[in-house]
A and B are shown apart, each in its own frame.
Chain A
Amino acid sequence: MRGVFLGAALTAVVISALILYTLFKGTFDFFRAIEWDFATLADSGWYPRSSRFDLRTIVVGSIVVSLIAMLVAVPLGLGTAIYLAEYASRRVRKIVKPIVEVLAGMPSVAVGFFAVYVIAPDLVSRVFDPRQPRNMLVAGLGIGLLVIPIMASVCEDALAAVPGSLREASYGVGAKKVTTVFQVVLPAAVSGIVAAFIISASRAIGETMVATMAAGAVDTAVYKGFSPLQPGMTMTAAMTNAVGGSDQAAAEAPFKVLFFVGFLLFMVTLLLNTIGDRYVQRVRQKY
């Protein structure tokens, strides 16, 4: 039996190896397709059909969209976590926690639909009057919704890991609830909260469907800077757009760029997740 189980565990290693091989090989093929001419990676925008791949456009797109998502998810997720861990009674917790978990299970296409048909016309277009109803702000807000539950659950774990003795000591010297929570418990949980922040950022960067449906740019994207009210393209949206072509294009650069962007995305999220994991471990060691 042992061998069977070992084999199953080894599939994880095999999958990791296959992902790395696929991305490396595809990136190499992409560079061959553009004939190692790295000048094509800097232009005025992302024009894959004419083999001009301005990395700046999609990297800035990912940064802008993820920043907006974090602006939504960090206060809402952290606030929900503090409330659930420190203030809520058992009964309130039993109601609120499953609701947050429902949000965690929300398919990203449903949030994409919500972003396109509600956030874009009823919120962003009314308040800001952008040139185009679908823009990076709409995508960022939608991705923010998807990231709230991740932020909330990792933060809540961090707060729950703070020993009760710290709270009792604080109350013992006469501190109020608010002082105890914000000046004793939160500083003690800070590495877990940093971990939540980093893991959430990694999720926001890797989220694909909302960015594809709501960020505005389709097939090509002109570089418009950091303005969130402009249509833009994220790295993930660049990947789904690269697949849009027909089978004949599969051998050429406009398709092969899928692997190159996937490789960059993989490296960025791997780096963030590794740093986030370090912080989570630190919480476990301390208490």
Chain B
Amino acid sequence: MALATPALGGRTAGDVVRANLTKSQRDVPGLLALIALLTSVLVTILVLFTLIGTILVDAVPFLRDRGGSFVTRTIGSNPDVIGLWPGLYGSFIIGLGVIVIAFPLGIAAAVYLEEYAKPTRFTRFVQINIRNLAGVPAVVYGVLGFTIFAGWLGGLTGGKTVIAAALTLAVLVLPIVMITSMEAIRAVPQGIRDAGYGVGASRWETIRDHVLSYAAPGILTGTVLSLARALGEAAPLIVVGALAGGVGLLPETSLDGKFTALPMLIYGWSGQPTDADNRWQFSNSAAAASVILLALVLFFNFAAILLRNRYERSRTGS
């Protein structure tokens, strides 16, 4: 700073004036407030790292010992030989269902509400509906899936199958896809649309080639986050009838039979008692499944965060 002179002993003029005015009293309330705020941030971060750390401690030796067989084998009653293949299969189909059903439907609804709909009472009703749906607890969507997708549409889905589960979770994330897509489309500057109309493009051509391509990164961020959410949900799966990795019934890797998913295995294995005869416990396999689920979910989360950062930079940079 140019204000620092030798006469002030290397301090800036501002420091000297402040010291004189406050008679060099320390700002005790300010310091206490800052300490309290920093504590809450650090506790939050620490808890997150403890959570991930303890899961890794339980999982890594188990995963190292079991290796690929834990991925390729099916579930059962002995943690020394079980695997999570049916869970991976179920989660894959569920993810696929979300991509095929929730993404196009949610984006199309957002296009209607942002580009076509006039601000009528009906439009507001639909928007309020979507916001309310986003707040409905996941387990209630399970009740919906049980009645509608496993019951009424049982002829199509085969009852309590992975198809019914995929439909249920697609419906669960649909409002999230709609809301994030609407926000992304709303952020498109009017000039982009006007430019489209100016060169004689129709409304649909303008939306397809200009609005959607401009909003694509924002839409993609929201959809990727909703995919992560769908992969981690277990409560609706319990109600729809997913198996929890218990003894007796075995899930299949089929579209029309008994099924399970990664979060269901973690839930089921976390409830099993310990057995001293076994080398590994169900807590180890639950931790290992958690690591794999976390890796999947965090991968999608990070992808979304990176996408958003890149998108923000390119917008402010241009």
Q: A: which residues have CB within 8 A of B?
A: 1-2, 4-13, 15-16, 18-19, 22-23, 25-26, 75-80, 82-84, 87, 96, 98-103, 105-114, 116-118, 145, 148, 152, 176-178, 181-182, 199, 202, 205-209, 212-213, 236, 239-240, 243, 258-259, 262, 265-266, 269-270, 273-274, 277
Interface window among B1-9, B60-68, B72-80, B233-241: B233-241
Q: Assess whether A240 is in contact with B139, with CB atoms less than 8 Å apart.
A: yes
Given A9-B108, A12-B178, A258-B143, 11 additional A-B pairs, CB 8 A: A5-B111, A23-B140, A76-B44, A103-B44, A110-B55, A112-B266, A113-B286, A176-B29, A208-B235, A212-B267, A239-B142
Size of B's binding interface in residues, CB under 8 A: 85
Q: List 23 A-B contacts (CB under 8 A).
A: A5-B116, A11-B174, A12-B133, A13-B125, A15-B171, A16-B129, A16-B133, A18-B144, A22-B148, A23-B143, A76-B44, A105-B228, A106-B232, A114-B51, A145-B47, A178-B33, A207-B137, A208-B235, A209-B235, A213-B267, A243-B241, A273-B132, A277-B131
Q: Which of A84, A112, A209 has the most CB of B within 10 A?
A: A209
B138 within 8 A of A: yes
CB distance from A211 to the nearest CB of B (A): 9
Contact partner of B113 among A2, A9, A79, CB < 8 A?
A9
The interface residues of chain A lying within 8 Å CB-to-CB of B142 are 239
The interface residues of chain A lying within 8 Å CB-to-CB of B105 are 8, 11
The interface residues of chain A lying within 8 Å CB-to-CB of B271 are 213
Inter-chain CA distance A108–B117, complex, in Å, is 37
Inter-chain CA distance A39–B305, complex, in Å, is 53
Q: Assess whether A105 is in contact with B204, with CB atoms less than 8 Å apart.
A: no
Contact partner of B143 among A22, A79, A82, A106, CB < 8 A?
A22
Q: Assess whether B290 is in contact with A110, with CB atoms less than 8 Å apart.
A: yes
The interface residues of chain B lying within 8 Å CB-to-CB of A12 are 109, 126, 129-130, 133, 174-175, 178
B199 within 8 A of A: no
The interface residues of chain A lying within 8 Å CB-to-CB of B171 are 15
CB distance from B254 to the nearest CB of A (A): 19
Say whether chain B's binding surface is mostly helix, strand, loop, or mixed.
helix
B30 within 8 A of A: yes
The 9 residue pairs across chains A and B that have the minimum distance between CB atoms: A79-B40, A206-B137, A107-B232, A5-B112, A8-B108, A208-B235, A273-B135, A178-B30, A9-B109
Q: 1/0 contact trace for B220-248 toward A, CB 8 Å?
A: 00000100110111110011010000000
CB distance from A115 to the nearest CB of B (A): 9
Contact partner of B233 among A107, A152, A213, A259, CB < 8 A?
A107
Q: Assess whether A106 is in contact with B51, with CB atoms less than 8 Å apart.
A: yes
CB distance from A56 to the nearest CB of B (A): 20
Contact partner of A112 among B40, B108, B267, B302, CB < 8 A?
B267
Q: Assess whether B143 is in contact with A182, with CB atoms less than 8 Å apart.
A: no
Q: 1/0 contact trace for B128-159 toward A, CB 8 Å?
A: 01111101111111111011100000000000
Inter-chain CA distance A239–B139, complex, in Å, is 8
Question: Known: A12-B175, A99-B45. Contact between A2 and B112, CB under 8 A?
Answer: yes
The interface residues of chain B lying within 8 Å CB-to-CB of A109 are 232, 234, 263, 266-267, 270, 290, 293
Q: Assess whether B143 is in contact with A117, with CB atoms less than 8 Å apart.
A: no
- Residues in B271-303 with C-beta less than 8 Å from chain A: 271, 283, 286-287, 290, 293-294, 297-298, 300-302
Q: Assess whether A110 is in contact with B266, with CB atoms less than 8 Å apart.
A: yes
CB distance from A210 to the nearest CB of B (A): 10
Contact partner of A80 among B44, B135, B144, B235, CB < 8 A?
B44
Inter-chain CA distance A96–B283, complex, in Å, is 31
Which residue of A is nearest B45, CB measured? A99
Question: Known: A96-B41, A118-B50. Contact between A1 and B204, CB under 8 A?
Answer: yes
Which residue of A is nearest B283, CB measured? A117
The interface residues of chain A lying within 8 Å CB-to-CB of B270 are 109, 112-113, 116-117, 213
